[in-house]
Amino acid sequence: MIEDTRKGMGLWVLAGLLVLAILGTGIWGAMHLSALSTAPGWYASMDGVQIEPVQPEGAEEGYEYYRLRFVLTNNSDQDVYVAGWNLGVRPAKGHEYAVDVWDPWDESITLEKEPCVPVGCIGDVELILEVDPEELETKTLQITLDPYGETPLELGEVELP
């Protein structure tokens, strides 16, 4: 008499495939979890941060102004334009718009004339910050590379004097 020794084999195969699917999903998720904190293609760092109070020409009453300087290392796969629309400065807590990169309108400036740090280079960055002291709840500011439509990359923090 011939016996069928494969009676439960189909269920074991299905169970094995289910285990492999769960493990594969977990491994794939773990590999991509670290990528959530950085913008794709953007790898930059900030060093030598200095901040000092200034009074620029054309400053508005009721605001405080600070000159922020740092060295930006660009290890990204594209140029980093040093402008208010690409670098974000926000208070660590409180109203998001209490701090802004002060950029007096100059219609002669075009994208081709904007200062930038090319791929693989180091560049000095200097920004003037406009601070609304009534809206500011903390002296700690977060500086980010904030390319339009992409996940911001945190560069670091600075304390206002």
Question: Rounded to an integer, what distance in angstroms lies between the CA atom of residue 58 and that of residue 146?
Answer: 26
Please state which of the four CATH numbers 1.10.10, 3.80.10, 3.30.70, 2.60.40 is assigned to the domain occupying 44-159: 2.60.40
Residue given tokens 């998720």 in the structure block: 29
pTM: 0.66
pLDDT digits (tens, 9 = 90+) for 12-48: 777 888 888 887 777 766 655 544 444 456 788 889 9
Res. 82: pLDDT tops 70 = yes
CA distances from 62 to 59, 128, 133, 134, 151 (A): 9, 16, 8, 9, 32
Question: Rounded to an integer, what distance in angstroms lies between the CA atom of residue 100 and that of residue 84?
Answer: 8
Domain residue spans of the chain: 44-159
Contact 101, 144 (CB under 8 A): no
